[in-house]
Amino acid sequence: MIKRFSEYKVTDRRVAEVYKDIVLSARMSNHNNFLKLLGCCLEFPFPVLVFENAEHGFLNHRGGVTVNGHESLLPLSLRLKIGKEVATALAYLHMAFPKIIIYRDVKPMHVFLDKNWTAKLSDLSFSISLDEGKSQIEAEDVLGTYGYLDPLYFATRLVTEYTDVYSFGVFLMVVMTGRSVYFTGSDGYPLGILGYVKGLYENGNLSEVICPMMMKDITNAQRLQVEASVLLALRCCEERDDDRPKMIHVAKELKRIEHHC
């Protein structure tokens, strides 16, 4: 797959982000849950990157895939697997290097699927490294995608590993429910996925998060898997970062849900 950056604005900062994507993608190439960088061509205003082919494309805004212009919902087992694999990739960024790397832009559109439906996280251009031994850094600008952004980071410009945990929580809700991060409710009013899920949980109606398309052939065990995953996602989105789990614990919990629920 070829990745070309828009040449609309060639600013120093954008150039730096593109080179960051190259450097970090190269460092992640040995990890199964990152899109593998094969090479790049420097004969353009921005480098053109060559990645491994991801036969099934990338996740759309509802955590499904689009095939020949038609949206296709993924089976529950695959959604869980994708959630677990993206959590594993983020935990690797947070733990594998002397300096913690914060991804900063977790969303479905950055997750590719190869021929075996293995999830591959891509686009590390917004990532930021913390100083060694430090748990936070003040960012010059708030980067990320509206709806997935941690409100704490938005308010303080402080980036921590919990910035990714929050975004992942929203991502997991989108993938598990098959709903967009913002959608129109039954009464015609716009809803945010987090407020919607939280409302169902507080009213004891958590099973309603399962989209009607999936409800037809869902087993009791699968219903429990959805509910456990969504509860974990809510914990990731707690207001105080102290109340959120670390990504490694999220990945382990998703693995447990996948095999034991």
Beta bridge partners of 182: 192
Please report the sign of the dihedral spanned by the C-alpha atoms of residue 59, residue 61, residue 65, residue 69. negative
User: Tokens 């990504």 — which residue?
Assistant: 247
CB 233 within 8 Å of CB 250:
no
Indicate which residues carry an active-site annotation.
Answer: 105
Spell 194-221 as b/e; 16+ CB within 10 A means b: bebbeebeeeeebeebbeeebeeeeeee
CB 120 within 8 Å of CB 54:
yes
* The two three-digit tokens of residue 171, written as one number: 């991502």
Distance CA 170, CA 145 (A): 11
Under DSSP, the state recorded for 98 is: S
